[in-house]
Amino acid sequence: MINTGFDIKPNLETLEFEYGAGVFGPKTEKRKLDDIRKSLSDPNVKGPEIVYSVAMDVGKEKDKEDLIKRNLLYGAMIFCKGKVGNEPVRSQGHIHATSPSCNASTPEVYEIWKGEAYIYMQETAKDTPGRCFAVHAKEGDVVIVPPNWAHATINAKVDEEMLFGAWCVRDYGFDYKDVRAHGGLTFYPIIKDEKICFVHNDKYNPCNIEIIEAREYKEFSIQKGIPIYTQYENNPDKFKFVTNPQDYKSIWEGYRP
């Protein structure tokens, strides 16, 4: 059982989501290994054809009108188990492009439903990437990626699937330009002795990475142990920082995930 806050069930054989009564959602989209090759330490590796699947815009029917009005969108993801070469299954990495609704890059709020993840993020995808973090998150943990930061999602346990949900804006867009120009992000997650370590990508200037555990986000009043969808239901204004990040500049300055 996964605690999502609404009736959505993953089918791990088909890598698709099934929706219960009173829940809306799209046909699950599949992402292939070929879609992420350019961001891997070795673009020519072998691995599962499908690496993860995505259902963007899910939720309760009763909330749909409000979510549209707020420009708030909930996505659900299944990351496959296994390896892609010597890396775990992962996304390719991107920056959130400027959204027309707020004229700003926007954050993302992750909640791990099953398994374990590393949410990797760095301040920029330029040659000097700034601070780099890999946030280790377990079931029930929340991780918030701030606006403008390059980031990727990594399945931290190669022997099982990893599932998560996330809040973002409805008019989201992805900027891949600088990430692809560097052949990925600043650190690659590499499997050594059945553990994941982070190896520097030499196309960036030398820098360090901090590997940290997921924390509580009291500055955003995120409540531990309550699904982030339920927290939206209880207080629909709680995730204004996602849709209007420009109003929270004092929090984003010097932000630590």
| 3 state SS for 169-190 | ECCCCEECHHHHHCCCCCEEEE
pLDDT of residue 127: 98
Alpha-carbon span 233 to 242, nearest angstrom: 15
pLDDT tens figures, 84-124: 999 999 999 999 999 999 999 999 999 999 999 999 999 99
How do the domains of the chain map onto residue ranges?
8-252
- Per-residue pLDDT band at 1 (split at 50, 70, 90): low
User: Does pLDDT of 37 surpass 90?
Assistant: yes
Give the residue carrying structure tokens 């890598």.
15
Alpha-carbon span 75 to 166, nearest angstrom: 5
- Per-residue pLDDT band at 2 (split at 50, 70, 90): confident
Q: Are 134 and 188 in contact (CB under 8 A)?
A: no
Q: Which residues contact 209 (CB under 8 A, 6 or more apart)?
A: 132, 133, 134, 186, 187, 198, 200
Separation of first and last alpha carbons in the chain = 28
| Global pTM value | 0.97
Q: Are 137 and 153 in contact (CB under 8 A)?
A: no
pLDDT tens figures, 121-152: 999 999 999 999 999 999 999 999 999 999 99
Homologous superfamily of 8-252 in CATH? Jelly Rolls (2.60.120.10)
Give the chain as a DSSP string.
----SS-EEEETTTTEEEE-TTEE--PPEEEEHHHHGGGSSSTT----SEEEEEEES-EEGGGHHHHHHHTEEEEEEEEPSSEETTEESB---BEEPPBTTTTB---EEEEEEES-EEEEEES-SSSS---EEEEEE-TT-EEEEPTT-EEEEEES-TTS-EEEEEEEETT--EE-HHHHHTTS-SEEEEEETTEEEEEE-TTS-----EEEE----GGGTPPTTS-HHHHHHH-TTTTHHHH-GGGGHHHHTT---
Give the residue carrying structure tokens 């918030």.
144
